[in-house]
Amino acid sequence: MRIRIMRMGIGVLVAVIGAGLTSIALGQDNKSTDVSKIQRLNRAPVNKDALKVQLPRPTIVKLPNGLTLVLLEDHKLPTVTFSMWIRPGQLADPKDLPGLASFTSDMLREGTEKRSSLQIAAELDSLGATLGANARFGGSISTVNASGLAENAAQVLDMMSDIVLHPAFPADELAKYKERETAAIEQRLSNPGALAQQTFRKALYGDGPLSVTLPTKEAVAKVTADDLKKFHDQHFRPGNTIFGAAGDFKAGDMRALIEKYFGAWAGAAEPATALPSKPSASSTGITLVNRPDSVQTYLLAGDIGIKRTDPDYYALVVMNQILGGGAQARLFLDLREEHSYTYGAYSSFGTEIYGGDWLANTSVRTPVTDGAITQLMYEFKRINNEPVPQGEMDDARHAIVAGFALALEQPGEVLGNWMTSQYYGLPLDYWDKYADRIAAVDAAAVQAAAKKFVDLNHMQWVAVGDAKQIQTVLAKYGDVKVVEVDGGAKP
């Protein structure tokens, strides 16, 4: 999952919110403003104390069939939210069928043994409910999510259990799905961001399952209903699943209701997914994806990151916030506000059961490709070599904690975070201490995180653009490998 502000829960006691909102004079009319001279006015009141929270505890139960329940009562609105996390997701895709987990999840709603696709859609509409499934590339779970009014919880669970336990994968719906997916692949291959991600993951992870970001047309054409059924029967089992529910219910009543619809589901947990070992650090590489006549260059740079349970997590959250976490961060202020190269420049990182990635990205006008790379390099070196000033540290930590506080009243996000705790085995008080641990990150920890993850000696660079115009520019920074949009190397 890509890092975002963590969202907690309902009925939370917020003792102190250090919002730390900062007014920044950006010099909008003078694009030559030196970023280092931007004045942070700090006119909003800032409380230096950390946010204190005591989060509501969910009821966690394991049913006799191995299904783990995470039940979070929230009586503010008459609604319910359901979420299922089913491992191992895309990590179980066969090498010759990339996207099989995604195909299987997408097809769950397209018909069951007793409901057609149209009947499912009509029933959801009549209830004002939602129901969907997904398996993200690079993810270790497939997800099934549903929501509706609390009074309709039984009907929603009935449909949810039907698509999870009894999918039919009808031939006519699969044929229509293949047409849609083939068109979607064409669209994705025309997107420079998708091309950059695909190339970047291959540079990090080689040819293994972690490198796959898109299905292939060949896989779409080849997949059969039997393939979907085989994947479903092998992996969709209660022992592999965490089932979360949040909303207006009593935990005991909801347990009984879920057990009514899912209690007969059978299947023990599979052994943990065998992951490839962490790739050894490779030297800096530059890959150019040739997109003839492109008027922009999409730039992406990054390296291997961390697992969700890594102790470096908090320092990386703060470092990323400072460097590229939004419109107040260094990359945005430098490349957009000072130099007018782009509409935006950002950084982010993903965490999983395996080491994810850290990356920075931006899209710039082709003629300023060289200048943009120069400024990216400048900011990477600066956060490596110079301690972050105290005021900037305060702003970053306050922004993270304020975002955390503002998200405390969203039950679905609260549920997701408790499921995160359950899935990764995080301590029960993890979210209670989250703000304190963010507040404890100092400039030395940020600099250490930068040296570890913003590593110019091992960073992988990807540029998507017109090779005729930018290859010589990129060559100034190292050897350039040129590939075509279809992934083939350019002779």
Domains assigned to the chain: 67-262 (3.30.830.10), 277-414+429-484 (3.30.830.10)
Residues 341/32, Cβ–Cβ less than 8 Å = no
Q: Are strands 130-135 and 142-149 parallel, antiparallel or unpaired?
A: antiparallel
pLDDT of residue 272: 87
Q: What is the pTM of this model?
A: 0.87
Helices 225-235, 171-189: axis angle to 10 degrees equals 90
The list of the chain residues with pLDDT below 70 reads 1-54, 276-281, 486-491
Q: H/E/C letters for each residue in the chain?
A: CECCCCCCCCCCCCCCCCCCCCCECCCCCCCCCCHHHCCECCCCCCCCCCCCCCCCCCEEEECCCCCEEEEEECCCCCEEEEEEEECCHHHHCCCCCCCHHHHHHHHHHHEECCCEHHHHHHHHHHHCCEEEEEECCCCCCEEEEEEEEHHHHHHHHHHHHHHHHCECCCHHHHHHHHHHHHHHHHHHHCCHHHHHHHHHHHHHHCCCHHHCCCCCHHHHHHCCHHHHHHHHHHHCCHHHEEEEEEECCCHHHHHHHHHHHHCCCCCCCCCCCCCCCCCCCCCCEEEEEECCCCCEEEEEEEEECCECCCCCHHHHHHHHHHHHCCCCCHHHHHHHHHCCCEEEEEEEEECECCCCEEEEEEEEEHHHHHHHHHHHHHHHHHHHHCCCCHHHHHHHHHHHHHHHHHCCCCHHHHHHHHHHHHHHCCCCCCCCCHHHHHHCCCHHHHHHHHHHHCCCCCCEEEEEECHHHHHHHHHCCCCEEEEECCCCECC
The string of pLDDT tens digits covering residues 189-246 is: 899 999 999 999 999 988 888 999 999 999 999 999 999 999 999 999 999 999 999 9
pLDDT of residue 302: 96
Token reading at 76: 């503010």
pLDDT of residue 296: 97
